[in-house]
Chain A
């Protein structure tokens, strides 16, 4: 069992990395409504993340056809690196758990 990573950006937490991993594995773009439904119970402030720790790497954009808001992950390499740091690329049962 390895220890929890210490990341330079203190605003990034394991739950945020799991949110990024979810977004990436769902094709990098998901309706904002669905993001809220899934991640609000886990206290993930999606719009705040877009404005702060993921500024320039993830954004909210309106679909011009339907008017729906979507969350789009732009910087996949950044997300990859965070997921590797936190063991979230291919999670498995041997990975560490946050106490």
Chain B
């Protein structure tokens, strides 16, 4: 069999950023009931993951750096760094320069996705169905997607007569349509 070189492999250099954080990530299957590692360790036990988990879990509060230092048990410089990053990403909005306060921008899709991720992680640890429940509710309330099936049918009697006016027996004819629909889209099937 003839062979042909279709690609070559070259060595490339990859920059790796060392993750911050001190606590080792738990091995899946260990005692999860008493674990406070964010997102079950999916992103490691990093400061930014802890801040993200906290603000996603309670998106209504106004956060000051000191609150997050206490809640995530991390130092002020690391929290500041995480807050700057999350503000750059648009997940947080800040106000005040000397003593900044932060609120979650709930209109961001990142916020919605991370909320669903929190449920997904919980579901994968056990047998719950929180993510699908949230997606269904979100589809109905925010995306206004309301799916359903509708069938409409009518029937009418008729009689056929010839040119001399002699009529035949009564017949019934029926017609119907089935629709599958979303709120604003109707397709005839």
Residues of chain A touching chain B, judged by Cβ–Cβ distance below 8 Å, are 18, 21-31, 34, 37-38, 61, 63, 65-66, 68, 70, 72, 76-77, 80, 84, 87, 89-94
Q: Which 7 A-B pairs have the closest CB atoms?
A: A25-B57, A25-B118, A63-B34, A22-B57, A89-B134, A76-B128, A22-B58
Q: Are B106 and A91 in contact (CB under 8 A)?
A: yes
Q: How far is the CB of B48 from chain A (nearest CB, A)?
A: 16
Give 23 CB contacts A-B under 8 Å.
A23-B57, A25-B53, A25-B118, A26-B54, A26-B118, A27-B35, A27-B36, A27-B40, A27-B121, A27-B122, A29-B36, A30-B36, A37-B70, A61-B33, A70-B33, A72-B33, A76-B130, A80-B133, A84-B133, A89-B133, A91-B60, A91-B115, A92-B112
Residues of chain B touching chain A, judged by Cβ–Cβ distance below 8 Å, are 31-36, 40, 53-54, 56-60, 70-71, 106-107, 112, 115-116, 118-119, 121-122, 125, 128, 130, 133-134, 137-138, 141-142
Query: For residue B138, which residues in chain A have a CB less than 8 angstroms away from its CB?
Result: 89-90
